[in-house]
Chain A
Amino acid sequence: MKIGEKFKKAFFTENPVTGLLLGLCPTLAVTSTAENGIGMGLATTFVLVGSNVVVSILKNVIPSRVRIPAFIVIIATFVTIVDMGLQATMFELHKTLGLFIPLIVVNCIILGRAEAFASKNTVWDSFVDGISMGLGFTFTLFILGSIREILGSGAILGYNFLPETSPTILVFVLAPGAFITLGFMLVGMNKINKVLQGSKS
């Protein structure tokens, strides 16, 4: 499969969040700011690429009876590496993402790609799949985080563009705002996907 095609799929039609509706827990939980969204997205991308590559290398070694526990061990290893690595290099980001890093283990995107793609495809294809799916996920989290940050705290990437006293729509920073924003994003993405598919036929 062409790489360009693959990326188009990962960002739009088969986007992990808006297309496949996978991994919604971190999506909703950490996107109160754009920066958190990017951080979570990139951490997930790293785990996804790592686990995809390793699973694809070991696909003929792992007995199918125990493939799920084997995948989970591999994924958990990469998550722990990210957890310790972030703590050592980006302490501030780790403080905000904190609780959600270990939860990447149970993000269904990663197990989903290991099971549905990496265990049936070559190492290179799995690597590309990991990168594109991860960046698609990051892209969605960034958009979601930006919308919530702009509406909820009047800032973008931590930079306040509104005066301190101006009112903001607090609900967008809180959990309900995540659901509302995601709902509208799904509507928008479905529309875009329809247009994309329409242009193909």
Chain B
Amino acid sequence: MAKQESGFKVIIVLVLIAFLSAVLLAYVNKVTREPIEENKKAETKKAIGIVLRGLTGYQYPEIPQEMEVDRSPVKYFMAVDSNKNILGCAVIVKAPNGFTNDFDMMVGVDSSGSVIDTYVLDHKETPGLGDGMSKEPFKKQFRGKNINNTKWLVKKDKGDIDAMTAATITSRAFTAGVKRALMTYNRLREDGK
């Protein structure tokens, strides 16, 4: 390599490298965009299958509807039968104030307003502590609970929910998330949708 190249060559080379990178990335992006979208849709579909477990013959819209609850955006898929009767609802909420951040979860609610099941979509909680929220021992206590028969706080805050050991903050966020989903559903029913 020469000791001192002309400024012109330096610029040309850098621009060329950046340009080729951009072309390559544009191509890869074009090839992978569809599979990535498919994967995200499949993930949502899988989650809906889990949180609406036990319901049969339901249909839900391809694209979720949106509203705002507690000043936080909420998405939901209404599950209806062929006569448009509501069978339940899969609600995607942000669980507020997790240990690292808010995290996204999906809650399935049946037509009577009770929790069917929960599914954590995307989180950065501590592995080994907070991520126990997607495991059976913690999440089974939420099934069948509704907004009125339960105090939606962890036991430490004088509520009804058993927090995970050493992960009270995650448990609080999770509990608040489920409550938010139930509030969403109740509000939807009141609005008569």
Question: Which residues of A pack against B, CB within 8 Å?
Answer: 32, 58-66, 69-70, 73-74, 76-77, 80-81, 84-85, 87-89, 91, 95, 99, 152-153, 170, 173-174
Judge whether A173 and B127 touch: CB under 8 Å: yes
Interface-centre pick from B28, B124, B129 (highest chain A CB count, 10 A): B28
Nearest Cβ distance between residue A35 and chain B, in whole angstroms? 12
**Measured between alpha carbons, how far is A59 from B166 in the docked complex, in Å?**
53
Judge whether A69 and B14 touch: CB under 8 Å: yes
**Measured between alpha carbons, how far is A58 from B16 in the docked complex, in Å?**
12
Judge whether B39 and A77 touch: CB under 8 Å: no
Query: Using a CB-CB cutoff of 8 Å, which residues 7-40 of chain B contact chain A?
Result: 9-10, 13-14, 17-18, 21, 24-25, 28-29, 31-32, 35-36, 39-40
Judge if B128 is at the interface, Cβ distance under 8 Å: yes
Question: For this complex, into which size category does the number of interface residues on chain B fall?
Answer: 20 to 34
Judge if B63 is at the interface, Cβ distance under 8 Å: no
**Measured between alpha carbons, how far is A70 from B124 in the docked complex, in Å?**
33
Return chain B residues, CB-CB under 8 Å to A61.
Answer: 13
Judge whether B128 and A174 touch: CB under 8 Å: yes
Judge whether A64 and B25 touch: CB under 8 Å: no
Nearest Cβ distance between residue B136 and chain A, in whole angstroms? 9
Judge if B59 is at the interface, Cβ distance under 8 Å: no
Within 8 Å by CB of B13, from A63, A77, A85, lies A63
With contacts A32-B127, A32-B128, A173-B128 known, is A62 near B21, CB below 8 A? Answer: no
> Can you list 8 residue pairs at the A/B interface with Cβ under 8 Å?
A63-B1, A63-B9, A81-B24, A91-B39, A91-B42, A91-B43, A152-B128, A170-B128
Judge whether A88 and B1 touch: CB under 8 Å: no
Q: Which 7 A-B pairs have the closest CB atoms?
A: A173-B128, A88-B35, A88-B32, A91-B39, A63-B5, A77-B21, A84-B32
Return chain A residues, CB-CB under 8 Å to B17.
Answer: 58, 62, 70, 73-74
Query: Using a CB-CB cutoff of 8 Å, which residues 97-153 of chain B contact chain A?
Result: 122, 124, 126-129
The A contact surface, by secondary structure, is helix
With contacts A65-B10, A170-B129 known, is A81 near B28, CB below 8 A? Answer: yes
Within 8 Å by CB of B128, from A77, A80, A95, A153, lies A153
**Measured between alpha carbons, how far is A191 from B102 in the docked complex, in Å?**
45
Nearest Cβ distance between residue A53 and chain B, in whole angstroms? 14
Judge whether A66 and B25 touch: CB under 8 Å: no
Judge whether A65 and B5 touch: CB under 8 Å: yes
Judge whether B25 and A81 touch: CB under 8 Å: yes
**Measured between alpha carbons, how far is A170 from B132 in the docked complex, in Å?**
12
Nearest Cβ distance between residue B157 and chain A, in whole angstroms? 24
Judge whether A87 and B36 touch: CB under 8 Å: yes
Judge whether B28 and A84 touch: CB under 8 Å: yes
**Measured between alpha carbons, how far is A32 from B43 in the docked complex, in Å?**
24
Shortest Cβ distance from B38 into A: residue:
A88
Judge whether B124 and A99 touch: CB under 8 Å: yes
Nearest Cβ distance between residue A101 and chain B, in whole angstroms? 13
**Measured between alpha carbons, how far is A85 from B25 in the docked complex, in Å?**
11
Shortest Cβ distance from B128 into A: residue:
A173
Return chain B residues, CB-CB under 8 Å to A65.
Answer: 4-5, 10
Judge whether A73 and B21 touch: CB under 8 Å: yes
Judge whether A66 and B128 touch: CB under 8 Å: no
With contacts A32-B127, A91-B43, A170-B129 known, is A60 near B1, CB below 8 A? Answer: yes
Nearest Cβ distance between residue A111 and chain B, in whole angstroms? 15
Shortest Cβ distance from B42 into A: residue:
A91
Judge whether B14 and A70 touch: CB under 8 Å: yes
**Measured between alpha carbons, how far is A173 from B126 in the docked complex, in Å?**
9
With contacts A87-B32, A91-B43 known, is A80 near B25, CB below 8 A? Answer: yes
Return chain B residues, CB-CB under 8 Å to A66.
Answer: 10, 13-14
